[in-house]
Amino acid sequence: MTTRPFSAPPAPVLTYRVEGMDCAHCVQKVERLVGTLPGTAAVSTSFTRQTLRLELDESRTPRQTLEGHLRALGYVPALQPDPHAAELPATPLDTPLHGPQGGGAWYRSGQGRLVLVSGALLAAAWLLSLAAPQAADLGFVAVTLLAGAPLARRAVISARLGEVFSINLLVTLAALGALLIGEAAEGAAVVFLFAVGELLEGVAAGRARSGVQALAALTPSTAQLLTPQGPREVPAASLRPGQRVLVTPGTRVPADGVIEEGVSGLDDSAVTGESVPVRRAAGDEVFGGSVSTDGTLTVRVTREANDTTLARILHLIEQAEESRAPTARFIDRFSRVYTPGVMLVSALVAFGPPLLGEPLSPWLYKGLSLLLIGCPCALVLSVPAAVTSGLSAGARRGLLIKGGAALETLARVRTVAFDKTGTLTAGQPRLSECLPAGPDRGRADPDGGTLRLAAAVAGASSHPLSRAVTDAARARGLSVPAVTDAHARPGEGASATLDGRALHLSSAASAAARLGSALDAEFGKLGALEARGLSVSVLHDDHVPLALLAFQDDLRPDAAAALTDLRRLGVDRVMLTGDHERAAQAAARDLPIEVRASLRPEEKLRHLEALPGPVVMVGDGINDAPALARADVGIAMGGGTAVALDTADAALLGSSLRGVPDLVQLARATMRNVHWNIALALGLKGLFLITTLTGATTLWMAVLADTGATALVTANALRLLRWTPERP
């Protein structure tokens, strides 16, 4: 790949859809090819979406040259009209997929036509062999050359790119060897069955990506833009933040936005995986791709088409391919040694015994069979096929995992740690009491002066408790004084300056550390509030407490069920919270979870490191960023927010906490699938290795073993698309 000089203007960004790029190995070949061409930069590929994006200086490499090289490798490139055209393909949901791209029945694809023509010729040659065996050999040779020519061409190109020991080379050598020893029929069977196997791979890969393609197709292509002259139909991709659109019953929301007028049930299953429509009204956020079930809405657009939650999910799924599972990396390293090793063993079997006086023909035949049995197709596909299916199955249920590495760690998890506020609780706390403290202890506050001060400080923080304070002040119609130097203190609270006086809104533990004995007189009231399960914050200055603020935040209705599911899976559960011990214990009274409370942010990190791992941390994706980053896997409960999608290794796009055990179940199901795939691939090859050395395997049986192993591996991986969580 060429690095562009600093002063040179950027080259145009081209986006191709590449039909046939259906696995991680294909992506590596395409990237290797593009990297050898002068004038290319910023290459990115995705086999999930079948896209290649690159900067191309056409004065050094014309695009026709690039496209010609891609076709020579067996791919079909199609230039997209703009960089984002490939992000939301217009392929209908009911279109039969024939391979990675979809767009027609399998027999209309180039590979499908090759299989049909070579299959017809093979059948005709076999029928002719019953009457005229010598003439039939010409037909078998024709089939071998027809179906083998693309393999030979790709083998040569792969060798030029540095991949000398490619799968294409193994099959080409086996087919040519069969012709040389007079086994034309078996040579024809070899290339035909291999072509069938490649076709099946394409169909299976397309099905594995169907869930992601279905997500991409959910965004409508048009929107009803509200103008002074009335609604006007415009392309959804042209919408900009601030514009207003009309959403009628039964239609999809064209972009992320906020409802300005109307009430409707919104089916968010495309994003969150929750099938029950949620009632939303003015002021509520909506996701692009959601369906308005029974009401008409006026929605103000907040994000462009390529930055909607749905588009971000699709982009993150693409990025997940780059975070590969350790097992996948090991298989890739193993296959790079395995393939040349197979060729060496085949050469020893083919020519070793003849050098010692044995007849050449039978041993050469066995050597060619070993070449075919040694094809690593099934082994190379065993991990990415399962991982792609698992990621797709999760995305369709609102479970987003950012790559195979996180998925493999989730499958081995021993401990799950939860934050309390916004995670185990609903994250919608309400201020239940605001009690003057310190010099004003016991005094009534009818005019809300204490609450006004607390709201002024709380405005500096986005924490749910701070929002509850500002909401309470707004509900009472209080005017909030202006402050300076307002800032949040992560894990502790917020601070601001009012009329030269420093004010702080802190957790009880932080206030105690700052005020010392000045807070002693409030401990009785503090303890009583916390014993009721209330979270307590303290408004104070640098010397004395000013008020105690108590918050009620109900547990999520499915918190107990989620923790019970984790216990059934053999996973330890721990609550890590900054709340006081009494408040945390009261909140967790009916939950099967260990409680560790009164933790400062750095103490949370130390507790995480001490837990038996791998450790998963579940938080809201905003205030738990350090803990989410420190855990082996961080899971954000973000409801699909941009921060939640960016912060952690996995995200629950819905509001159900049962998504956590669902993620663990999905990861374990995927890794079981991976292990079965590896066992199938190696087991079949081991079996046919033995039968080949004993002379019981023919060439066509050898290639059938390879094709069969590939078909079994992909079929087994596709079972994950039907995965559903097990719940008692």
710 contacts 200 by C-beta, under 8 angstroms: yes
The catalytic residues are 419
With CA atoms as reference, report the closest residue to 215 among 321, 289, 318.
Answer: 289
286 contacts 370 by C-beta, under 8 angstroms: no
> What integer pLDDT is reported at residue 121 of this predicted model?
86
108 contacts 98 by C-beta, under 8 angstroms: yes
> What integer pLDDT is reported at residue 412 of this predicted model?
93
Alpha helix (H) residue ranges in 307-447: 309-320, 326-355, 360-373, 377-395, 404-411
Distances (CA, A) of 86 to 382, 545, 552, 656: 27, 58, 47, 32
Residue 618 sits at φ, ψ, to 5 deg, of -115, 120
> What integer pLDDT is reported at residue 385 of this predicted model?
77
To which residue do tokens 């037909």 refer? 139
Lay out the sheet containing 230-235: strands in order across.
230-235, 222-227, 244-247, 297-301, 257-261, 285-286
The token duo for 470 is 């500002």
Give the integer Cα–Cα distance in Å for 536 and 586. Answer: 13
493 beta partners: 489, 506
The token duo for 30 is 């395409």
Say which CATH topology domain 13-87 has. Answer: Alpha-Beta Plaits (3.30.70)
Beta strand pairing call for 594-596 and 572-576: parallel
DSSP string of 257-281, one letter each residue: EEEEE--EEEE-HHHH---S-EEE-
> What integer pLDDT is reported at residue 4 of this predicted model?
43
With CA atoms as reference, report the closest residue to 382 among 338, 435, 351.
Answer: 338
> What integer pLDDT is reported at residue 662 of this predicted model?
95
> What integer pLDDT is reported at residue 319 of this predicted model?
62
Residue 266 sits at φ, ψ, to 5 deg, of -105, 125
- Per residue in 95-151, pLDDT (tens digit) is 333 343 444 566 666 777 888 888 888 888 888 888 787 778 888 888 888 888 888
Give the integer Cα–Cα distance in Å for 433 and 431. Answer: 6
Give the integer Cα–Cα distance in Å for 515 and 523. Answer: 12
245 contacts 254 by C-beta, under 8 angstroms: yes
Find out if CATH 3.40.50.300 is the number for domain 389-425+555-667: no
Give the integer Cα–Cα distance in Å for 394 and 722. Answer: 10
How many helices (H) and strands (E) are present in the chain, helices listed first?
24, 26
Find out if CATH 3.40.1110.10 is the number for domain 430-552: yes
422 contacts 637 by C-beta, under 8 angstroms: yes
Alpha helix (H) residue ranges in 262-308: 269-272
- Per residue in 52-105, pLDDT (tens digit) is 888 888 888 888 888 888 887 778 888 876 544 434 343 333 333 334 344 456
The SS3 assignment for 92 reads coil
Strands (E), 553-632: 572-576, 594-596, 615-619
Please name the amino acid found at residue 726.
Answer: E
Give the integer Cα–Cα distance in Å for 681 and 674. Answer: 11
> What integer pLDDT is reported at residue 86 of this predicted model?
39
Residue spans of the chain under pLDDT 50: 1-8, 83-103, 640
The token duo for 205 is 């890969």
Beta strand pairing call for 430-436 and 545-552: antiparallel
Nearby residues of 34 by Cβ (< 8 Å), 6 or more positions away: 1, 40, 43, 52, 54, 66
80 contacts 153 by C-beta, under 8 angstroms: no
pTM of the full structure: 0.72
Q: What are the domain boundaries of the chain?
A: 13-87, 221-307, 389-425+555-667, 430-552
Nearby residues of 717 by Cβ (< 8 Å), 6 or more positions away: 204, 208, 381, 385, 386, 388, 389, 673, 677
In terms of phi and psi (left: phi > 0; alpha: psi -120 to 50; beta: otherwise), the region of 4 is beta
Nearby residues of 418 by Cβ (< 8 Å), 6 or more positions away: 424, 573, 574, 575, 576, 593, 618, 619
Geometric angle at alpha carbon 440, from 436 and 443, rounded to 5°: 70
Nearby residues of 463 by Cβ (< 8 Å), 6 or more positions away: 421, 488, 493, 494, 623
Give the integer Cα–Cα distance in Å for 8 and 457. Answer: 50
50 contacts 100 by C-beta, under 8 angstroms: yes
The token duo for 390 is 């698992």
Find out if CATH 2.70.150.10 is the number for domain 221-307: yes
Query: How buried is 64 (Cβ within 10 angstroms: 0-12 exposed, 13-18 middle, 19+ buried)?
Result: exposed
With CA atoms as reference, report the closest residue to 279 among 290, 268, 263.
Answer: 263
224 beta partners: 233, 246
668: how many CB neighbours lie within 10 A of its CB? 16
Cis peptide before 10 (omega within 30 of 0): no
With CA atoms as reference, report the closest residue to 455 among 421, 486, 501.
Answer: 486
